[in-house]
Amino acid sequence: MRVSTSERQTGEDTTTTLYPVTKTCAVWGTASEYIEIGSTSAFGAPDLDSRPPEMARSTIFAWVQRCPACGYCAADISQAPGHAGVTVRSIRYRAQLVDSTMPELANSFLRQAIVDERAGDYASAAWAIVHAAWVCNDEEKPEAAQECRGKAAEMVMRAIESGQEITEQRGAETAILVDLLRRAGRFAKARQVIASRRPGIIDDVILKILAFQELLIARGDVARYTLDEAVGAEA
Ligand SMILES: [Zn+2]
């Protein structure tokens, strides 16, 4: 079975292809069916926290898999670090299972983050929490989104302190961190990060983004903006 969620347009591939796959949970050994992404596309500029535009934007539901038997959540349910069995049974993990303040999909990403954090992979944990924030925005839960962004910012800082790479592009981790802090309403911390990290940044686009963020912070703006809006504003 192949599911196309959009039609082809002139000369451009705007199709997302999804397909079901049976996978075995690496924690409990339960086989279940999951939806995976065969291909997708992205048109337009990403958000300042790197969230892709459509169609990729709407494939987020398939970025995390949750075992219906044990609740283990991972990008690939058939893979698990050695401690995952213990983590899945932990009080913190089980509490995240029933956190009614968060959308169900956000809880899956937050559970994925707990396993990543326990494995010492703070960069992956940070991204999983960022994904939870995006789900909260989609579900129109701004307070939950703000809470996730605050947690994601803390995890990004922990990753940076541990020498872990948040993105391949040098300086982009600062741009993403500042956007997380601003949209979490933590303006003072966002200003502080810009002041302390800007001297080490040479990428012109990143510098333009940080200048744009300063304008938003000055007016207390916590809204979503795209890369084009940021770079265009300074051009
Ligand atoms: Zn399982």
Q: What is the pLDDT of residue 11?
A: 45
43 contacts: CB under 8 Å, gap ≥ 6: 12, 14, 53, 54, 55
Q: Hey, what are 171's tokens?
A: 């300086």
Taking Cα atoms as reference points, which of 156, 141, 126, 145 lies closest to residue 185? 145
Q: Which long-range contacts (C-beta less than 8 Å, at least 24 apart) are formed by 169-175?
A: 169/203, 169/206, 170/201, 170/203, 171/200, 171/201, 171/202, 171/203, 171/206, 172/50, 172/203, 172/206, 174/198, 174/201, 174/206, 174/210, 175/48, 175/206, 175/209, 175/210, 175/213
Classify residue 185 as left (phi > 0), alpha (psi -120 to 50) or beta. left
* 69 CA distance to ligand 1 middle (Å): 5
The amino acid that residue 89 corresponds to is R
pTM, rounded to two decimals: 0.92
- pLDDT given at position 15: 84
Per-residue pLDDT of the chain (235 residues; tens, 9 = 90+): 344 444 444 445 568 999 999 999 999 999 999 999 999 999 999 999 999 999 999 999 999 999 999 999 999 999 999 999 999 999 999 998 888 999 999 999 999 999 999 999 999 999 999 999 999 999 999 999 999 999 999 999 999 999 999 999 889 999 999 999 999 999 999 999 999 999 999 999 999 999 999 999 999 999 999 999 999 854 4
- For residue 131, the CA-to-ligand 1 centroid distance in Å is 21
State how far the Cα of 91 lies from the Cα of 110, in Å rounded to an integer. Answer: 14
Which residue in 94, 101, 100, 153 sits closest to 127, CA to CA?
Answer: 153
Distance from residue 73's CA to the centre of ligand 1 (Å) = 8
Q: Cα of 136 to ligand 1 centre, how many Å?
A: 25
pLDDT of 146 reads: 98
- Beta-carbon neighbours within 5 Å of ion ligand 1: 25, 27-28, 30, 67, 69-70, 72
Longest dimension (CA), the chain: 54
DSSP alpha helix (H) spans, the chain: 84-89, 91-97, 104-118, 122-138, 142-161, 172-183, 187-197, 204-218, 227-234
Supply the pLDDT for residue 191: 98
| 225: nearest Cα among 144, 214, 55, 147 | 214
Ligand 1: distance of its center to the CA of 196 in Å?
Answer: 43
The SS3 assignment for 24 reads: strand
Ligand 1 centre distance from Cα of residue 66 (Å): 8
Distance (Å) from CA 24 to ligand 1 centroid? 8
**61 vs 209: CA distance, rounded Å:** 29
In the chain the first and final C-alpha atoms are separated, in Å, by 47
Centroid of ligand 1 to alpha carbon of 152 (angstroms): 26
CA 23–ligand 1 middle distance (angstroms)? 10
